[in-house]
């Protein structure tokens, strides 16, 4: 069974994101993680267990970081669902990087290759190599809710009054502490937490909270520790949790930006990607993944009975 979408009644106003269906209530949000796999601004496939993995990985990390900063979690009433305190979202994605890496136009390695050394709040030294550990983790924030992500610095954030100095200080301190905790726990599980993004919100009382998700394989990059140095020494890419292979298949077999109808994802690739999501859950948490069987929609609806309004 896979979960493509939900349409629950009496749970509040529904917002459909790329992966989550979100139901807004007066003082809380109900976030249902589906099995949708998105790229090119469209849904490409349904990956069994993906939604459950994302929710359960977030649950693990929320519980292991709540001493650093409060999070929005009220309850996990179902393996695919988190109920959170309703917050005003701070319109900045706090991207934290521990390594110089990436291939996109905005990645640190691409910019570094072009001669950029000043990354907002830190100047990187000459002579760095791709996938090398940074002297210390850096924050490269971007805008949220704008049509295209815009790189930000602390100066821009304060000059444009996107955050007050007090809130920026709290959010940036929390982001670095969360990342340090994430790297520390991941390392014990044989993983390097390479980079990630955090989202924060403000409660009606003005308290800063960690919201959305944390350290999931969709919001973070992980490499395997045991093969990292050997592969770097050989000039190879680190061994990572790779979900890009399915996106690349679509890119090679159609025009995902123009074709109205997309070819179906190859079943063996869907199965392999599902296996990888389960594997990364087990490695991060150290726990055996419990596959839920039966009608997922009906199960979620039953588990959300007490949240109907």
Helix 50-65, helix 165-188: angle, nearest 10: 110
Domain 90-233 -> CATH class: alpha beta
Specify which residues 43 forms β-bridges with: 38
Domain boundaries, the chain: 13-88+266-307, 90-233
Rg (CA), the chain: 20
**pLDDT tens digits for 82-112?**
999 999 999 999 999 999 998 877 789 999 9
Please give the model's pTM, rounded to 2 decimal places: 0.95
Fold annotation for 13-88+266-307: Phosphorylase Kinase; domain 1 (3.30.200)
**pLDDT number for residue 9:** 96
**pLDDT number for residue 102:** 87
Q: Which residues of the chain have pLDDT under 70?
A: none
Token pair listed for 282? 């087990």
**pLDDT number for residue 174:** 98
* Strands annotated E in the chain: 13-16, 20-24, 28-33, 36-39, 42-46, 73-78, 81-85, 88-89, 92-100, 132-139, 142-143, 191-202, 208-211, 220-224
Token pair listed for 309? 């309004």
**pLDDT number for residue 122:** 85
Phi, psi of 131 (to 5 degrees): 70, 15
**pLDDT number for residue 20:** 97
Sole residue written with tokens 């979202």: 89
């Amino acid at each position: 069974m896979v979960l493509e979408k939900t349409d629950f009644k009496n749970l509040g106003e529904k917002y459909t994101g790329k992966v989550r269906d979100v139901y807004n209530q007066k003082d809380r949000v109900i976030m249902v993680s589906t099995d949708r796999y998105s790229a090119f601004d469209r849904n490409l496939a349904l990956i069994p267990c993906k939604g459950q993995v994302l929710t359960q990985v977030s649950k693990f990390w929320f519980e292991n970081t709540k001493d650093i900063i409060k999070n929005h979690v009220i309850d996990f009433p179902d393996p695919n669902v988190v109920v959170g305190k309703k917050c005003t979202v701070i319109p900045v994605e706090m991207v934290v990087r521990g390594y110089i890496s990436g291939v996109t136009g905005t990645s640190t390695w691409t910019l570094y290759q072009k001669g950029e050394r000043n990354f907002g709040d830190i100047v990187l030294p000459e002579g760095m190599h791709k996938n090398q550990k940074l002297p210390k983790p850096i924050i490269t924030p971007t805008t949220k809710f704008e049509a295209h992500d815009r790189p930000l610095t602390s100066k821009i954030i304060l000059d444009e009054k996107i955050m007050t100095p007090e809130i920026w200080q709290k959010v940036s301190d929390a982001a670095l502490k969360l990342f340090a905790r994430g790297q520390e726990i991941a390392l014990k599980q044989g993983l390097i937490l390479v980079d990630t993004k955090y989202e924060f919100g403000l409660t009606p009382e003005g308290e800063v909270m960690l919201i959305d998700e944390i350290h999931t394989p969709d919001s973070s990059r992980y490499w395997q520790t045991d093969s990292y140095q050997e592969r770097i020494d050989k000039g190879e890419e680190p061994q990572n949790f790779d979900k890009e292979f399915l996106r690349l298949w679509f890119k090679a077999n159609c025009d995902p930006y123009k074709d109205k109808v997309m070819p179906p994802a190859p079943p063996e690739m869907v199965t392999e990607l599902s296996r990888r999501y389960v594997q990364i859950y087990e490695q991060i948490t150290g726990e055996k993944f419990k596959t839920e069987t039966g009608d997922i929609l009906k199960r979620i609806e039953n588990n959300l009975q007490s949240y109907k309004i």
